[in-house]
Amino acid sequence: MSLRKQITMLFFFLALMLTLQDARAIEFGIGQSKEELGLKYELSVTDHGTGRVTVVLDITDEGKLKPINSISL
């Protein structure tokens, strides 16, 4: 097997592993309900009919869930 093909396969494998790691992190749950955390929010979803949606998350009170650095949908 040529060196170029081996390097290509290695990059493909590394990219696959990084993608799987992100997918596992997305499925991580909080474990407590929003009532237990004192979290108050409104969520609205708008379907544009073009295969795109707009999601608006308005957090009015973070409760015990401070700080929120990022949210993945």
Question: Residues 13-68: pLDDT tens digits?
Answer: 777 666 655 444 455 565 667 777 777 778 788 888 898 888 887 877 766 665 66
> What are all long-range contacts of 39-48, with beta carbons under 8 Å and residues at least 24 apart?
39/63, 39/64, 39/65
- Round to whole Å and give the CA distance between 54 and 42: 14
The domain ranges of the chain are 1-30, 33-66
Confidence of residue 4 (pLDDT cuts 50, 70, 90): confident
Confidence of residue 70 (pLDDT cuts 50, 70, 90): low
Does the pTM surpass 0.95? The reply is: no
Q: What is the DSSP letter of 63?
A: T
